[in-house]
Chain A
Amino acid sequence: MSTIIQGHKGIGPRVSGEALVAKDNFSARYDLDRIKGIFSRPQHKLCGQNYLGKVLVLDIAKGGVATAWMLNEMKSRDMAPAALLLNYANPIIAQGAAHADFPLIDRFGQDITEAIQTGQRVAVDPGSGTVTIED
């Protein structure tokens, strides 16, 4: 049986993919090596992990404004994650998602980093704000 998790209405198209989860924050500029497609900030819990095509499940959006451009730039090179699920987005990540037409949902009413586990397949539907964990 699949589990459906309800969040706030999101931005971007429906996608599905494999989850990569950590109770840590997200900034494209601070945390990623966008050429290699891996988390690169030494302090990040996903440091060294490949994020390409993954549904990233993280705590909150942190850091600077560059992510607003970077999602589109990463997507243009086919070097982006599939979607981003956060406990709390900030304006920058929402603006970046709107600019890149990139799937983003937040505010689930529960800790999304505990609700989903790395390796699970999830379907993300920003229009309805739902995430479905597929068995």
Chain B
Amino acid sequence: MKLSTYEEDILAGGQGPIRQKAIRQQIAIGEFFDAEDLVEVRQAHIMADTESLGEAGVQWLEEIAAAPEDQRRVVIPTITDPRGADFKAYNRINHDEAYVKLERRASDAFRGLGVLMTDTCINYQTVMPPVPGEHIAMGDTGVVIYCNSVLGARTNYEGGPSALAAAMTGRTPRYGFHLDEKRRGQTRFVVTERPKNLDDWGALGGIIGREMGSYYEVPVIEGITAPPTSDEMKHLGAAMASYGSTALFHMVGVTPEAPDLKTVFDGTPPKPAEIGKKEFAAFRKDYAPEDDSLDVVVFAAPQLSLMEMEAVAGLLKGRKVHSNVACLVVTNPENKAASDRMGLTQTMEDAGAVVLEGVCFYQMHARELGQANGWTNLMTNSAKLTNIIGGYGYRPALASMPACVDSAVAGKMVK
């Protein structure tokens, strides 16, 4: 790989062993994907909840945090994905204290590196969205697909160690979605039934994601004539990324790199696959409840925007969550503070919901939480969550936000 003088210096150990190790790892990954060089990045976002880190990962971070300050500080603004525990509310959901301790150690280590603890997977809605063409290193699949597709920025999936390496060097290997030619459309879908609720947008993402053959396949969506909202794009992208390992999509006439069909495809566009009533129904069948048993309703994955917080609060206002059911509403610290200030948190808590911040349901030891609380039958309006949570021992059902709230109040799944 071609390296600049600055990068050669890092590789030679001129900036300490931590940056040297980071760039070695980046070169190994770059060679694996035939990258010609490294590209400068302006922002990094690290996914490092303790469920994924484990004791091994936390110890590794603590070793880095123990290094001299000039060797351990990140060189670009670096923010975090949701954490594995809400320090303010963990005891309300019987979250094991051992995990909370581990989470504190990880947070302390990150602070020592100069990482900003944003604890969010919706940084593009709440922290600092990138601009078109900007090269970044984002560490959450939902963040990656949104920044690439909706905002026209350039990033691959950067897992925790890789995003941290980018934070340490200010570089990332130039492959995949940093390259113009990898951003071209490949597969074509025509949507004949515009999604209505957020869970419908998630379902559309899931349907397309399931069709994707590899990380590098770029789907192009037609038929969505009026632009979706940011929250609709968020659920669409998060589900597509989750089901498909997909990092970029184009929506003709809507997203910045797809003004029309001709621009987004090289040569003649392929024949489109249709997504309509039938495809939506088939997808929903996989996440239809077997009976009406319900243990927990979850609004998360991705964390809720302020507008979603307002919507859930509006639906819960003046009602009571059934005593046999838990209702969790999960957002980031910024939106939690705003919701507190605007009275939305109070409305939800008065109704018996638990509002959590800085976490996500599947990133906080969901298996153990399920066992500690007797949660198996889960209802959510997140198609991403229904994809993930089955592996954690849950039986997930996908429903609209109003149906989820109605079910939480009724204590059983209602349509």
Contact = CB atoms under 8 A, between A and B. Distances in A.
Contact of A73 (B31, B52, B162, B388): B52
A90 B140 CA distance: 14
Contact of B159 (A11, A40, A88, A92): A92
B378 to A, nearest CB: 14
B48 A69 contact: yes
B390 A64 contact: no
B48 A94 contact: no
Contacts of A65: 47, 139-141, 157-160
Interface of B is mostly: helix
B6 interface: no
Interface of A: 8-11, 25, 29-33, 40-43, 60-70, 72-73, 75-77, 88-92, 94-96, 98-99
Contact of A69 (B54, B156, B391): B54
Contacts, number: 133
B21 to A, nearest CB: 10
Given A9-B31, A91-B157, A95-B158, A61 B215 contact: yes
Contacts of A72: 56-57, 60, 161
B343 interface: no
Contacts of A73: 52-57
Given A72-B56, A76-B56, A90-B245, A95 B161 contact: yes
B162 A95 contact: yes
Interface in B356-415: 362-363, 367, 387-388, 390-391, 393
A91 B55 contact: no
A25 B214 CA distance: 10
Contact of B52 (A41, A66, A76, A89): A66
Contact of A63 (B25, B31, B158, B245): B245
B80 to A, nearest CB: 13
Contact of B55 (A42, A63, A67, A76): A76
A29 to B, nearest CB: 7
Interface string B38-54: 00000000011101111
A99 B161 contact: yes
A93 to B, nearest CB: 9
Contact of B162 (A25, A43, A68): A68
B16 to A, nearest CB: 19
A75 B141 CA distance: 24
B53 A68 contact: no
B314 interface: no
A69 B245 contact: no
Contacts of A33: 367, 391
Contact of A91 (B31, B52, B215): B215
